Amino acid sequence: MRARDLATPRTSIPPTETFARVLQLVAEHGPILVVDEHRGLLGVISNETLLRGLLPAYVQSEDLLAGVLDEKSAATLFAKAHERKVEELLAVGDVPLVEGEDSLIEVASVMVRTSSSLVAVQDQGRIIGGIALTDLLEQLAR
């Protein structure tokens, strides 16, 4: 089986979409693709990406510091996060992208290397869909 055989249509958004809207979309559809105006892949937004966007860097690096935020401060941080744009959440580095002819082992390798629960699949230079980690694991278990 090849990546194109397991790929399914995925929700995609532009990098200018708001964090608040992305929260809704990920809650409804799972990880989503961020694409430019030419449908080129810029990245993937997952639950983990959203959490990184909500939490200040110092809390992410040291659990004990989470205790210094009271409820009011946390609410203020979360409200400010809702106004941010998706492009601010995208990590610099490997974009989880595979070719349609890639094997499922190659897909798994990209997921591990990029720490992504969704990879985009392109065929002939066009994004044709994505493969979620759960779909890949179900297929590999058969």
Taken in order of first residue, the domains within the chain and their CATH numbers are 3-141 (3.10.580.10)
Q: Side by side, which strands form the sheet with 118-123? A: 97-99, 118-123, 126-132
Query: What's the pLDDT score for residue 64?
Result: 62
Task: Give pLDDT tens digits for 12-56.
Answer: 999 999 988 999 999 999 999 999 888 888 889 888 888 887 777
Query: What's the pLDDT score for residue 28?
Result: 94
Q: What span, in angstroms and rounded, lies between the C-alpha atoms of 92 and 48? A: 15
Task: Give pLDDT tens digits for 55-88.
Answer: 777 766 666 666 666 788 777 777 777 788 888 8
pTM of the model: 0.80
Task: Give pLDDT tens digits for 113-139.
Answer: 998 999 999 998 889 999 999 999 999
- Bridge partner list, 35: 41
Query: What's the pLDDT score for residue 67?
Result: 67
Residue 8: helix, strand or coil by DSSP?
A: strand
Q: Which tokens belong to 60?
A: 């992410």
Q: What span, in angstroms and rounded, lies between the C-alpha atoms of 53 and 136? A: 26
Largest CA distance in the chain: 51
Query: What's the pLDDT score for residue 89?
Result: 79
Query: What's the pLDDT score for residue 32?
Result: 92
- Counting residues of the chain whose pLDDT is more than 90, the rounded percentage is 50
The CA-based dihedral angle spanning residues 15, 18, 24, 25, taken in that order and rounded to the nearest 10 degrees:
-10
Question: Which spans in the chain are helix H?
Answer: 3-6, 19-29, 47-54, 57-61, 71-82, 104-114, 133-141
- Counting residues of the chain whose pLDDT is more than 70, the rounded percentage is 89
